[in-house]
Structure 1
């Protein structure tokens, strides 16, 4: 077969949108394929009357252990979900419903103003149900300071939700410090962390980090879409009210037949992430820095987010003097985004970039580049030249 010419419309752009989703690792796809046909673990894991069900259940529990190992957690602290969005909803709504059982008047919740919509929207819904919500403003880098959190705590604060890594900026919050504040609060309050963007990139150890609830998504760490997990601490015990009913699966937290192949896929992805955590993030960070160094001297270029406290693959850059829509269209040889994939259909400027002080024009002219496991040095070199050519052309016109 002849290679596709560089000029062919069939040639795919270089993928630099790993923060939106990652490709499934070959090892993960192979493991999943063993759970889909008659000769594999295709059965319902809840079917305990025959060997097919027993084998499927064993595969699911092995995967649960793999996910737990990534967090240094007890497997019994892992609850399967359909992704981080459901995990976030279960954490926030489940904690609120449980709190209301003893406090009918409602209570106080704290989130950051630049959380993913999977946290902000449930928080807004809870506000409509009578709970009070405080949205913490970040600093100019997108970080939530401990003093900001401490000042916002009230006697009736029962839940704080702050993401580990911001999905648009890559900025890292100090969850150990923030969690310690929650743990030592006079009346105590639960600390939830959306770790969808940090799992596999930063070390997560719930034995040392004061986190009560933590959300994960398989497709952000080279696993399949449609599966995630919520870590629920057992000691001290955290209690949530179920949000999906219909069979009492997952110790009553989340009903529904488990998709064995997806659980196995997430487990394998977690195992691979844990095995590569000491080397892969450093390699990806080197490529990210290569990309930034190649374009940093362009006129009007500005780095969005923290220059150091940043996840390995994220690079969010503002290009002053460029029309945002034309910039994105002109970078046709790169698969990139202007922010969160969940908000890509919106024409409004990113609320994350606005919150850290960018005006509308600069927010619109910002691009999120995100690198990952399969990014190569050659691809980064090509991206640098392509970006430089496009930006210089747009700034002239």
Structure 2
């Protein structure tokens, strides 16, 4: 049997999405900038995808910009807004458990002379909203937070944050990394006070190498990729029609059954958490399973290094993660778990399990049985 419990790293593409991607590569393969019929056909895919995505967010089609994925969307939001608004100020605010697609460009901006304030979180991943409010200044140009933490599923109250940001400094922009939240939550940027929203296609059963950035039409953001002037001059380069078409189809499909999908994931997660708590020397990291995101559970198995357990499970056809897939090669330990104040040993024994709407109870039960057999054996081996 196989159990794929690493859906926060990537998801299996919907078959309907794969068919659309293939069709736009083999049949409707025109350049959307071309003026002939083939070009118009390709352009229609781009327009329809923007329309489908905009509908899920209740925003305008023209506020959706396609990118190469979540990393580019985050980088563009942060660096593009910094360049466009630096005369207003050079102060930006973030959290300590952001994905490297946010923390790395902010570190680069700090080297360029921008001031970055990091607002702490508690041991369950709750953001200190009082400290956030106190940190916002007249020269603050942007606040950046995740919606859902990718490693342990803590949920940031983005609507509260948006309200605090815009009441304290109406000129400041609020950027949200929604890469783990889109397709799991109803997200309405206008209502929530979100000015910039980053999303990745392969987290919602769409293709890899494509994503989008929502930019509020009133927000000042400078383009980073210059050239032929595609996407209203904001993001040049020939549109990735297969990726964009697939992303639009995936967005439409995942929101059609959102409530049912989320309920299924949450039920599986809570069942899994309850069964894990019956095992010895097992501790759940981050928020209470009831309060966290519906699809992510981070667990420390004391006495077993996460990489050892990961590969032992892999030998049985069970696929999990020892943290963010984008930073799993790093040996320093999880930044997200470190932000919670966890010990090094607890961080080094942490495994992330992540579900999707096609995950089955059989997969979860198979994983539980494997853990019951593996943990005593691996702990005995570790003590030798």
Could you say which residue in structure 2 is the equivalent of 1:168?
Answer: 151
1:330-375 deviation per Cα after TM superposition (whole angstroms, max 9, x unaligned):
2222111110001111122111111102111110100000111221
Q: Find the counterpart in structure 1 of residue 58 from structure 2.
A: 72
* Structure 1 segment 143-182 matched on structure 2, within 5 A: 143-182=126-165
Aligned pairs (5 A) from 1:173-322: 173-186=156-169, 188-234=171-217, 237-307=218-288, 308-322=290-304
**Rounded Cα–Cα distance in structure 1 between residues aligned with 2:112 and 2:226:** 20
The aligned counterpart of 2:117 is 134
Which of 38, 41, 60 aligns to 1:55? It is 41
In structure 1, how many angstroms separate the alpha carbons of the residues matched to 2:233 and 2:126? 35
Q: How many angstroms does 1:187 deviate by? A: 5.1
Q: What is the match of residue 349 of structure 2? A: 365
CA distance in structure 2 between the partners assigned to 1:348 and 1:131 by the alignment? 26
State the SS of the aligned residue for 1:56: helix
Mapped to 2, the partners of 1:329 and 1:24 lie a distance apart of 24
Q: Which residue of structure 2 aligns with residue 343 of structure 1?
A: 327
Instruction: Note the C-alpha offset of 1:67.
Output: 1.2
Distance in structure 1 (CA, Å) of the matches to 2:47 and 2:272? 41
- Structure 1 residue 148: Cα displacement: 2.2
| Corresponding residue to 2:74 among 73, 84, 88 | 88
Contact 2:119 2:128 in 1 (8 A): no
Q: What SS does the corresponding residue of 1:181 show, helix, strand or coil?
A: helix
- The CA distance in 2 between the partners of 1:302 and 1:60, in whole Å, is 46
Does structure 2 conserve the Cα–Cα contact (< 8 Å) formed by 1:42 and 1:56?
yes
Is the Cα–Cα contact under 8 Å of residues 295 and 387 in structure 1 kept in the other structure? no
Q: Secondary structure at the match of 1:182?
A: helix
1:27 Cα deviation after fit: 1.1
Instruction: Find the aligned partners of 1:267 and 1:350 in 2 and give their Cα distance.
Output: 32
Q: Kindly report the root-mean-square deviation, in angstroms, between the aligned alpha carbons of the 2 structures.
A: 1.3
Instruction: List per-residue Cα deviations over 1:363-388 (Å, max 9, x = no partner).
Output: 01000001112211111111111112
Q: Which residue of 1 aligns with 2:310?
A: 328
| Counterpart contact for 1:155–1:187, Cα < 8 Å | no
Looking at structure 1, the residues matched to 264 and 305 of structure 2 have their Cα atoms a distance apart, in angstroms, of 33
Report what 1:9 is aligned to. none
- Which stretches in structure 1 are left out of the alignment for 5+ residues? 1-5, 7-12
TM-score by length of 1: 0.93
The unaligned stretches of length 5 or more in structure 2 are none
Query: Contact (CA 8 Å) 1:202, 1:311: kept in 2 or not?
Result: no
User: 1:163–1:262: structure 2 CA closer, same or farther, 3 Å change rule?
Assistant: same
Q: TM-score, normalised by structure 2?
A: 0.96
Q: Over residues 23-68 of structure 1, what are the superposed CA-to-partner deviations in whole Å (9 max), with x where a residue is unaligned?
A: 111111112122112xx221111112x1111111111100111111
Tell me how far 1:310 sits from its aligned partner: 1.4
Task: Work out the CA distance in 2 between the residues paired with 1:326 and 1:60.
Answer: 44
- Asked if the contact 1:159/1:189 (under 8 Å) is kept, the reply is yes
Q: How many residues align?
A: 378
Q: Distance in 2 between matches of 1:347 and 1:288?
A: 28
Matched ranges for 1:36-47 at <5 A: 36-37=25-26, 40-47=27-34
Instruction: Map Cα deviations across residues 203-239 of structure 1 (whole Å, 9 max, x no partner).
Output: 11123111000000000000000000000112xx012
Name whichever structure is richer in helix by fraction: 2
What CA distance in whole angstroms lies between the structure 1 residues aligned with 2:14 and 2:241? 17
Q: Find the aligned partners of 2:305 and 2:68 in 1 and give their Cα distance.
A: 37
The secondary structure found in structure 1 opposite 2:53 is helix
CA contact (8 A) 2:222 2:234 kept: yes
CA distance in 2: counterparts of 1:137 and 1:318, whole angstroms:
22
Is the Cα contact below 8 Å between 2:204 and 2:251 reproduced in 1?
A: yes
Q: CA deviation at 1:252?
A: 1.6
Number of the residue aligned with 1:31: 20
Distance in 2 between residues matched to 1:324 and 1:60, nearest whole Å? 42
SS of the equivalent of 2:146 reads coil
Mapped contact 2:307–2:322 kept (Cα < 8 A): no
Q: What is the CA distance between 1:128 and its match in structure 2?
A: 0.6
Following the alignment from structure 2 to structure 1, what is the Cα–Cα distance between the partners of residues 291 and 250? 25
